[in-house]
Amino acid sequence: MAQVSLRNVVKRYELVQVVHNINLEIADHEFVVLVGPSGCGKSTTLRMLAGLEEISSGEIYIDSRPVSSVPPWNRDIAMVFQNYALYPHMTVAENMGFGLKLRHVPKSEIQARVKHAADILGITNLLDRRPKALSGGQRQRVAMGRALVRDPKVFLFDEPLSNLDAKLRVQMRTEIKKLHQRVNTTTIYVTHDQVEAMTLADRVVVMNGGRIEQIGPPQELYHAPKSLFVAGFVGSPGMNFVPARVEESNGSLYLSIGNRCRLAVPLARTDRYGPFVGRMMTFGIRPEHISEPSGEPQSGMAPLELPVDVVEPMGAETLVHCNLDGTTVIACLEPSTQASPGKPIKLVADMNHMHLIDPETSLVV
In the chain, % of residues over pLDDT 70: 100
User: Are 23 and 205 spatial neighbours (Cβ–Cβ below 8 Å)?
Assistant: no
Sign of CA dihedral 204, 206, 211, 214: negative
| Average per-residue pLDDT for the chain | 93
Peptide bond into 303 cis (omega under 30): no
Length of the chain: 365
Domains of the chain listed by start with CATH number: 4-224 (3.40.50.300), 240-364 (2.40.50.140)
Region 318-331: mean pLDDT is 95
pLDDT for 29-80, tens place per residue? 999 999 999 999 999 999 999 999 999 999 999 999 999 999 998 999 999 8
pLDDT for 162 beyond 90: no
Cross-strand partners of 252: 249
Whole-angstrom distance, CA of residue 49 vs CA of residue 188: 10
pLDDT at 238: 92
Locate all alpha helices (DSSP H) within the chain, ordered by sequence: 42-50, 92-102, 107-121, 136-148, 166-183, 194-200, 218-223, 228-233, 270-273
Region 148-161: mean pLDDT is 91
pLDDT for 171-180, tens place per residue? 888 888 988 9
pLDDT for 99 beyond 80: yes
Smallest Cα–Cα separation from 121: which of 186, 176, 188, 185? Answer: 176
Q: 204: exposed, middle or buried (C-beta count within 10 Å: 0-12, 13-18, 19+)?
A: buried
Q: Which residue has the higher pLDDT, 236 or 213?
A: 213
- Tell me, what DSSP letter sits at residue 238? P
pLDDT at 320: 97
Q: What band does 297 get if pLDDT is binned at 50, 70 and 90?
A: confident
pLDDT for 298 beyond 90: no
pLDDT at 136: 86
What distance separates the 2 farthest-apart alpha carbons in the chain?
Answer: 81
pLDDT at 17: 94
Whole-angstrom distance, CA of residue 77 vs CA of residue 73: 8
pLDDT for 349 beyond 80: yes
pLDDT at 1: 61
pTM, 2 dp: 0.90
Which residue type sits at 2? Answer: A
Whole-angstrom distance, CA of residue 222 vs CA of residue 231: 7
pLDDT for 119 beyond 80: yes
Whole-angstrom distance, CA of residue 286 vs CA of residue 352: 11
Region 307-321: mean pLDDT is 95
* Range with lowest mean pLDDT among 103-117, 207-221, 234-248, 292-306: 292-306
